Structure 1
C-alpha cells in the first residue's frame, strides 16, 4: 500500500487563508496593512485581483454589510493612477502615450529614416524599437546610450531614439517606459504628496528594475513608508517526480490533481509551467480527459469545468473578433473561400437560427462547388450566388444583411481620408449592417469579447493624438494590429485549478502547487540580450540575458518563491523532452525535494471496465440494384477492384469528400480542357493525312481556335485583370503542350479518327448497366485503335491483374464492336519524354510503346479482360462490401472512406511507417 500522495497538514494552511466554509481569507500581514490605510501594490494583475477578492470575502465573513474597495492594485495601474492625479492637479500637461500611440511615433520616425535598409517591415521594426526603448528606460540607461553604439543596428537605434526623445519633448509626449522616471522627478519636486499614501506595501515582486527602485527611493525621501511583504508558506511536503516523457508527465499531473480534488473538493491548486502559450492546447486536452471527461462533449461550454487558464489568447484569434475583422476586410475586396465559408457558418453574421441548416447546405453543395478561376469571393458575387440559389427562400435574413452591408461598403471611397475616430465609427456601422455583435443569444464570454472589441476601437480613436488623417485600409491595418496585440482572458471563474505561469504566481498562495516541465532544458527559460542595444551597455547595466549567473540567480529566487507558496508542492519533469534527455533543473538544488514514484499517482487512474462482447454474424443482404443504368461508369469497376467497401460507400451510399475550390483550374478541369481541345481539333481535321498537308501556320491557328472554344466557360468567369492574365497563361500552356502532341501524331502510321469523346449509353458488363465515354477511336492500317487521353502518369501494366487499377481501356476494348482491334493505348499528353502512345498492339510497327510485360495475343487478352471485369461487376452488383484493399496501405492512402471502413487507423499508420522505412533503406 503506497503512502498517501497528498499527505499534508491542510488544516494549518486553511487556518492561514481559509474560513470554515471554504472561502478565501486575506493573509494577515496584508489585512493589517490595509487596515492601517496602506496602498498594496502587486507585481502582477492576477495577484491584485486575488487579494481584492480575498478582502471582500473576509469582510463578508466578518458580517460587514458594506465597505470601501481596498487600495490594492498592480504596479502599472498604480503608477498610471499617480500620473493621472498629476494631470488633474495641473502639475503636468504631457500626454502619456498608450501602446498604439507610441507605435505610431516610432513608425513615423522609421518611415522617414533615409538611412534605413532592412528586410523587416516598419511595423515590426517599430515594435522592436519600442521594446528596446522600454528596456533601456527600465534600467535608467537613456543618458548612457550616446557614444556606446558599436554596430550598424545599434547606431541606427541610437539615431531613432534621439529623434524619438526630441519629438516627445517637442510635442509634450511621454512614453510609458519613462513614466517611473517622470514620477520620480515629480516626487522630488514635491508634486506627488497629495497622490501617494503614507504607506505602501509591495507584494509579489521577484525583483525590481532600477527605474522602479528609483521611484520608490524618491517616495521614501518624501516620507512614504514602503515595506515589502512576504506571504510565503512553510511547505509540509515538497516532492520531485520524474516521468518517461512529457505526455506521461502531463497525465500524471492531471491524475494527481484529480485525486486531490476528490479528497478535498475545496482545495485550491496551481499548475505552473513556463511557455504556457505553446502548451495550452495539450494541457487543455489532457485535463479535459482526466479532470472533466464530461467536457469532451462537443456541445459542452469550453469555459467550464474545474480548471481555467489565467493566460488569455490574442483578441484577434477569438472567433467573434476574427469574424469582425473578416467582415471589415470583405467590405474592401474579395476574401478567400475558406474565410467566406467560415463567416457563413458562424453565428456572428446575420445570426438567424432558422437559417443554419440552409446555410450549411448552400456552403457544402453550392459555394464550395462553384467554378471559380481563383478561390476568392467578393460580397457582390456571393449576393448574386444567393439570389440564384435554390436555398434563396430559406436565406432571406442573410441575403438582406449582405445587401445592407454592400450598400454601406459602397460608401467607402478608395482615397478618402478621415480621422481614426471617424473610421472607428464607420467600422461599427459596417459591422452593425452585417448583424454582427447584436448580443442576441450570446454567452458571458462573447459579451466580454464584444466589450473588449469596443475598447480596441476606442484605442484606435486615440491615434488622433497627432492630427493625422488616414485611409480606410490604413485604419483597418491599425485596428487589426491592436487586436493582435491585445490579450483577452474572460473574467476568472475562480476554478479550483488555476493554470498559470511562474511570474503570474507571485503574490498568491495555494493549497497545492504542481510545477510542470521543471527539467534543465525547460526551466529556466533562456534569456537573450536585445539586438538593438549595445552589448557593453547591456552588460554594464546588468540587463537580462547578459550575465548567466545573474539570470540563474533570478530563476532560483522564482523557484524558491514557488516552493514556498503552498502547503504541498510537486516539481515534475520528463526524462525525455522534445529537446532531448534531461535531468532536474539546477534551480531546485537546495529545496530538499522528496523523490516520489509515479506509481503513487498512477494508481488513482480508474481501471476500465471490460464488457463481454458478443459476436453477431451479419447475414443480411443489400437491396438489389434497380434495373437501370447505374451512375458512375468505369469508375465503379475501378473502385471495386481497389476495395469492395470503397465502391459500396462511394457508389451505393454516395459518401463523398467535401470538395473545395482550388486556385484557378484544378487538375481535373485542366485535363477536361485538353480533351475538349483535341475533340474540337479532330472534328475539323479528321485524318492524319489532312494534318500532314495542313501548313504549320494554319495548324497553329486552328489549335488556337480550339483552345478558345474549350476555354469559353472559363472566359465567362473572368472578371478581373488577374483572371484574364491567368487564362492567357493557360492558353500558352495548352499551346506548348498540344503543339508537340500534334507533331507526334504526324509520326504515327496512317490513321483516321473514327470518333472522339463518344458517349456509349446503356452498355452492359455482367449484370451492370453503365454509360461510358470513350476518348477516341482511330482506324489504323490493321483495325481500330482505342485511345484514352492521360495528362497524368499512366502505366499499361495496371491492366494485367484480376484487380486492374485502371480498367477504363480494358472496358472500352470489351465493349468494342470492331471486327479487328489493332491496339489499346494511353495517349499520354504530357510534356517531356513521357509524351506518346503507350499500351498493347498487335504490331510492333504501330508507333505504340509497349511494356515488357504484355499479352502475346490481344484478342485473347480482351476475352480475359471480359472475365475480370464481369467478375468485378458481379461483385458490386451482389454487394461484396468486404474491406479488402488491393495493396495495403497504398490503396488506402488517398481513400476518403477511412472514417467508415473497419481498418484500424493505428495499423494503417504503422504500415505506412514501415513502408517509408523500407524506402529509406533502399535509397
Structure 2
C-alpha cells in the first residue's frame, strides 16, 4: 500500500502458494480492501492459483444434491440445503426456516426421512417443493410424469436429467435473464458457465461409454468437476500473487518474495516411488532429488532478482510450534530495517480511534411485562437450569432465556453420553415401577435380577436411542454395559438399604419462584417407614457434589428445588458408575439409608434444624429468580471462569480477555 501508484505492477511470489492461498486471500483483503468484509467480490489483486471447480460453494451444493441416493438424508446436509441462497432460499433464513431448524436440532436426530417429512415437520411450501424433487430424484422417477425412467442412458441424456433436476431445485438461485455487465463478471455466473462446460464434457463421452446407469454417470461427472480448475475472470489488477513457477517471465515494478525459509527454499524432494530411480535422475523429474530442487530454487531466485528493480524477501520465524530459519540461498542478501506500517483493518482502526464513545452499560435490564407473563403462565422447562445459569454467570442465563440464543448442537455420533444417561434413567424407572419396594428386590434371585435388568435395559434403549435401532452388535454391547452399571448400583447400594418403598417415579412438578413457573421432574421419591420421604436424583456422568447445595450461591439447585414441592426428610444423589457407585446427600438426623455418605448440614450451614435448612434454600433460590427477573446480566462467571470451559456463549460475551487477565494473576 505504501509504494502503490497507478500503472505500477506489484508482484507477490509465494513458494508454497497452494498451502497458503486461503490465508493470503483473507489477509490481503483485510489490509488492501477493508471494505471487502461487506463486499466480498471487491478486490484489487489477482491470485494465479486456480482451485478445483468442486470447491466453489455453489457447485458443492449441486454435487451434494445430485449424489443423494436414498430417501434418508443427514440432518447437517438437509439444513445446508434449506439455508442455501443457491437453491433460492433467503439469507438470513426466514422465521419459518429458523423455527424448523430449531425443532430439528432439539430432537437430536442425525437424519430425516423424506417420505415422512411433511407429516412430521409441517408444510412449508418452499421446503415441500425441495423434498418432492429430492424424492423423485432418489426414486429414479421423472419430475413431471413421476414414471420411472430407464436405468441405463447415454451420458448426454444424463446431462439433460441433471440440468432438469437442478432447475427444479431452483439452482443456482438467480434469474437467467440478467444481462448486466456486473452480473456477467460475477463469480456465480462464471461458475455456472464453467459448470455447463463440464456437462458438455460428460456429453462428449457418448461414443466411449455408451449407455450407463446414474451412479456411473455421476461418478464420471463428479470426477470431471473435481479436475476442472476454476479461476474467476476479473479486471487486470496491479497486484499479482503468483507461485514460484508461474512467475517465470513476468516483470514487476516492485516484487515481494515471501516464505523464503529453509524448509521451502529449496523445497524438500518428494520422489514418485512408482518411477524408477534411474529414470528420475536421467530426466531430472521435478521433486525427484535434492540436487534438482536446489538448482531449481537457485535459477528461480536469479530470474526473480532481475524481474524487478525493487525486490524484497521475507520469511516467517515460526510455523505452528516449529521455529524456522532463513533460506541459505538468501543469507547473503542485505538486511533492511524493519518498518511498522499502520494496519488498514477496520477492527484495528476502531481500536486506535482517540474519540471512542464511552458507554456505560446498565447492570440491570428488567424483564418486560410480556416476558413476565410468559414465565408465569407457560413456565420454563427444566427450570433448575435457569437458576444454575444465573448463579454460575448471569449473562449466560440472560443469553439463553432472555435472548433465546441457545445453541442446540447436532450429535456428532448416533449415541453419546446424553443418550447413555437417558437409557440408565429409563431402565431404572421401568425396573422400580415393577419392583416397588426393597422387600421385592430382596426376593429376586441373581438370575432373575439379571434377566429383568436385561429386559428393562433393552426396552429403555429402544425408547431413548432410536438412532441405533438397526445396530444390533453395538446395542448388545451397550446393553451389557448398562446392565453392569445398574447391577453394581443395586448390589452395592440398594440391597444394603433398610426397608423402603417407591413413592413416585419421574414425578412432574411446577415450582413458582418470584413469579417464574419452573417445570421440573423428580427422578425418584422413596418412602422410608416412620421417617419420611427421600428425594433421589440419578447421575450417570460427572461426579455430583452435595456440598454445592450449601454454598452461598447454590450451584446445583435441582434437589433443593424439588424439596419445595413436598417437604422431604432427605436429599440424595445416586451416582451410577462402573465399579464405584455412590449414594450421598443430606438428611434429617437418624435417617437409615445403609451405604450412604451423609453431609451434616448443621456443621456446614449453621442451620439448627431441617426446617430451617429448607427455608434457607427457599429464600436463596427466590433471591436468584428475582435477580433474573430484575435483569442482572453482567458477565461474571464464578470461580475465575470455571463455567466458561464448556459455555457456548463465549463469542457473544467475549469473556476471553477477562479470563486471560485472571490466568496471568
Q: 2:295 aligns with which of 553, 558, 561?
A: 553
Equivalent residues of 1:689, 1:750 under 8 A apart: yes
CA distance in 1 between partners of 2:532 and 2:364 (Å):
48
CA distance in 2 between partners of 1:846 and 1:415 (Å):
72
SS of match in other structure, 2:248: coil
Work out which of the two has the higher radius of gyration on C-alpha atoms and give 1 or 2: 1
Query: 2:575: which partner in 1?
Result: 828
Q: 2:162 aligns with which of 420, 427, 436?
A: 427
Q: 2:111 aligns with which of 364, 368, 376?
A: 376
1:683 CA displacement: 2.6
Judging changes above 3 Å, is the alpha-carbon distance between structure 1 residues 311 and 697 closer, same or farther for their aligned structure 2 residues? same
Equivalent residues of 1:751, 1:780 under 8 A apart: yes
1:385 aligns with 2:117: yes
Query: 2:57: which partner in 1?
Result: 319
CA distance in 1 between partners of 2:625 and 2:93 (Å):
41
CA distance in 1 between partners of 2:576 and 2:537 (Å):
10
Equivalent residues of 1:796, 1:851 under 8 A apart: no
CA distance in 1 between partners of 2:289 and 2:138 (Å):
58
> After the TM superposition, which parts of structure 1 deviate over 6 Å for at least 4 consecutive aligned residues?
410-415, 603-607, 851-854
Query: 1:663: which partner in 2?
Result: 413
Superposition TM-score, scaled by structure 1 size: 0.62
Q: 2:489 aligns with which of 716, 719, 741?
A: 741
Query: 1:894: which partner in 2?
Result: 646
SS of match in other structure, 1:618: coil
Query: Alpha carbon RMSD of aligned pairs, Å?
Result: 3.7
Query: 1:653: which partner in 2?
Result: 403
CA distance in 1 between partners of 2:334 and 2:520 (Å):
76
Superposition TM-score, scaled by structure 2 size: 0.84
Query: 2:390: which partner in 1?
Result: 640
Equivalent residues of 1:552, 1:587 under 8 A apart: no
1:469-500 deviation per Cα after TM superposition (whole angstroms, max 9, x unaligned): 65433443333333223221112421221111
Query: 2:628: which partner in 1?
Result: 876
SS of match in other structure, 1:513: strand
1:860-903 deviation per Cα after TM superposition (whole angstroms, max 9, x unaligned): 544543443343233234333232211222111222233443x5
1:345 aligns with 2:83: yes
1:282 CA displacement: 1.7
Q: 2:19 aligns with which of 278, 281, 287?
A: 278
CA distance in 1 between partners of 2:392 and 2:173 (Å):
52
Q: 1:287 aligns with which of 22, 28, 47?
A: 28
1:776 aligns with 2:539: no
1:713 CA displacement: 4.9
1:273 CA displacement: 0.5
1:478 aligns with 2:240: no
Query: 1:528: which partner in 2?
Result: 270
1:727 CA displacement: 5.5
1:260 aligns with 2:6: no
CA distance in 1 between partners of 2:430 and 2:259 (Å):
68
Q: 1:366 aligns with which of 84, 97, 103?
A: 103
1:291 CA displacement: 0.8
Equivalent residues of 1:271, 1:516 under 8 A apart: yes
1:145-169 deviation per Cα after TM superposition (whole angstroms, max 9, x unaligned): xxxxxxxxxxxxxxxxxxxxxxxxx
1:575 CA displacement: 4.0
Judging changes above 3 Å, is the alpha-carbon distance between structure 1 residues 433 and 650 closer, same or farther for their aligned structure 2 residues? closer
Query: 2:94: which partner in 1?
Result: 357
SS of match in other structure, 2:410: coil
SS of match in other structure, 1:574: coil
Report 1:774-923 matches (<5 A). Answer: 774-781=522-529, 782-793=531-542, 794-818=544-568, 821=569, 823-833=570-580, 835-841=581-587, 842-843=589-590, 846-850=593-597, 855-856=602-603, 859=610, 861-901=613-653, 903-908=654-659
1:498 aligns with 2:246: no
Alignment length, in residue pairs? 636
Query: 1:586: which partner in 2?
Result: 328
Equivalent residues of 1:797, 1:851 under 8 A apart: no
CA distance in 1 between partners of 2:289 and 2:69 (Å):
52
1:599 CA displacement: 1.9
SS of match in other structure, 1:641: helix
Which range is displaced more, 408-417 or 282-291?
408-417
Equivalent residues of 1:344, 1:359 under 8 A apart: no
Report 1:512-523 matches (<5 A). Answer: 512-523=254-265
Query: 1:628: which partner in 2?
Result: 376
CA distance in 2 between partners of 1:641 and 1:758 (Å):
25
CA distance in 2 between partners of 1:546 and 1:709 (Å):
62
1:329 aligns with 2:67: yes
Gaps of 5+ in 1: 1-257, 916-923
Equivalent residues of 2:51, 2:230 under 8 A apart: yes
CA distance in 1 between partners of 2:72 and 2:405 (Å):
32
